[in-house]
Structure 1
Amino acid sequence: AIKTLVKKNFIVIAVGGGGIPVVRKNNKIIGVEAVIDKDLASQILATSINADEMLILTNVQYVYLNYGKRDQRALRRISLRKIEKYYEEGQFPPGSMGPKILASIRFIKSGGKRVIISSIDKAYKAFKGETGTEIYPG
């Protein structure tokens, strides 16, 4: 259904929070205790439909280095190589910006052309390149 909508030029909003994690066991679907990360699940969906771009919405307008510190700095446009370096240095905490950055890295490495991370109230402007953090191959 999602591929059909995308082919017809619809913007698809999917893989939000909620739902019950399940697995197939002995040809039955059973609920399991698990946490499904929506950012990583979004990356898997985007990659599986061969999306060129992925928009990740959060509660801040930009990805920041040294977030919450006196020397915090907004990242506006950054290469995969640089964002990977910052990720490996621990700049983006797990349970916060970390999964969003990891999903972005995986998406670009899987052939994606661009990831935009911004706040929901700036989504349209971010997608047009007017705000937010853009991550690109390179």
Structure 2
Amino acid sequence: MRILLALGGNAMTAPDGRARVEDQIAAAQVAMDAVGDLVAGGDDVVITHGNGPQVGNLLVKNQLAAQVVPPVPLDWCGAQTQGTLGATLLNALDRALASRGVRRPMAALVTRTLVDRDDPAFARPSKPIGRYVTAEEAATMIEHGETWEDRGERGWRRVVPSPEPLEVLDAAAVTTLFEAGFVVVANGGGGVPTVRAADGSLGGIEAVIDKDLGAELLARTVGVDLLVVATDVSHAVLHFGTPQAEDIGRVDVDRMRAHAAEGHFAGGSMGPKVEAVCRFVERSGRPAAITDLSTIGAAVAGRAGTIVVPA
């Protein structure tokens, strides 16, 4: 089977959320052990990943050094974390495959995603990123052109645009490697946000792309048979956090859309994942799954997780 596996940001940090180098290496090994089982079983895999904690670390460095060196823009942060996490995942996957006596070529690509400069999101930055800071710290960053909001007792937090992903600009390279038998890591963090100028030239822009929507776009572009969104829970849940909580197993996309419309999925957590799998099923006519790392293999076989299928 041809699978795109989207790893949540939690898959690249320690269970308590720490993102030290050693935490990220250990978390990558857990994730790639799951991928190793898929590859050893004969599946072809494209991997994408979140990068929120890693970009957050770079933003802290920006803040601490802002009076010494200019802050690195968000598109650069995305590209840097794609490179770092790509290499980390490949090293972990190499170890996982070697322990199984399997050899597969692999590659990590820094991947750009096209967005529309006129997307309404640019007029209303709303995606919070990074840590909370004092008003004085925020003022320094505002002088560098960033948008910050006063969030009350917790302090100030940066907000940025989160435009819709339109095209994975480097999809041809991903597809070529995938068709040649490579395991490919690409489009991390939803891709490096990129806009096209009137003269046709391309350039990065200060924004973040939802990683799950970016994964859906890549999955559809490459033409995989199954999109798997791996998170920290085994299922999407109805009535989450209440005594009536109920795991969602196999469900058709129309019913899943109805659950979403009823407000069952939080906008900052499960909501984007549900939107991504629904888009993939509707636009490709193929299934998608939401599950955790420990049940990826069973989810691929249709025996675990939330499996969304065409209506």
Q: Normalising by the residue count of structure 1, what TM-score does the alignment of the two structures yield?
A: 0.86
Question: Do structure 1's residue 2 and structure 2's residue 174 form an aligned pair?
Answer: yes
Q: Deviations over 1:81-118 (max 9, x none)?
A: 11010111111111111111111111111123110110
The residue that corresponds to 1:127 in the other structure is: 300
Retained in 1: the 8 A contact 2:190–2:214? no
Q: 2:206 aligns with which of 23, 30, 33?
A: 33
Q: 1:53 aligns with which of 226, 234, 237?
A: 226
Take 1:9 and 1:83, find their aligned partners in 2: how far apart are those partners? 34
1:62/1:75 contact within 8 Å kept = yes
Change beyond 3 A, Cα 1:4–1:97:
same
Secondary structure of residue in 2 paired with 1:51: coil
CA distance in 2, matches of 1:120, 1:75: 17
Alignment of 1:111-122 (within 5 A): 111-122=284-295
Cα distance per residue 1:45-65 (max 9 Å; x no partner):
111122221111111011101
Deviation at 1:28, TM superposition (A): 4.4
5+ unaligned residues in a row in structure 1: which ranges?
Answer: none
Deviation at 1:10, TM superposition (A): 5.0
How many angstroms does 1:34 deviate by?
A: 1.2
Indicate the residue corresponding to 1:22 in structure 2: 194
Secondary structure in 2 matching 1:86: helix
Q: Secondary structure at the match of 1:125?
A: helix
Q: Label 1:7 to 1:30 Cα distance change in 2 as closer, same or farther (>3 A).
A: closer
CA contact (8 A) 2:191 2:214 kept: no
State which drifts further: 4-13 or 127-136. 4-13
Aligned partners of 2:226, 2:191: CA distance in 1, in Å? 25
- Amino acid in the other structure paired with 1:96: S
Answer 1 or 2: which has greater helix percent: 2
Residue 46 of structure 1 aligns with an amino acid whose one-letter code is: A
Quick check: 2:250–2:307 contact (8 Å CA) kept in 1?
yes
**Structure with greater Cα Rg:** 2
Shift in alpha-carbon separation, 1:11–1:56, aligned structure 2, 3 A: farther
Structure 2 stretches lacking a partner, 5+ long: 1-172
For 1:99, the equivalent position in structure 2 comes to 272
Superposed displacement of residue 121, structure 1:
2.6
- Cα distance, 1:132 vs. partner? 0.8
Structure 1 residue corresponding to 2:239, chosen from 48, 63, 66: 66
Over 6 Å off, 4+ runs: none
Identity of aligned residues (%): 36
Structure 1 residues 106 and 18, CA, compared in 2 at 3 Å: closer, same or farther?
A: closer
Provide the aligned C-alpha RMSD in A. Answer: 2.1
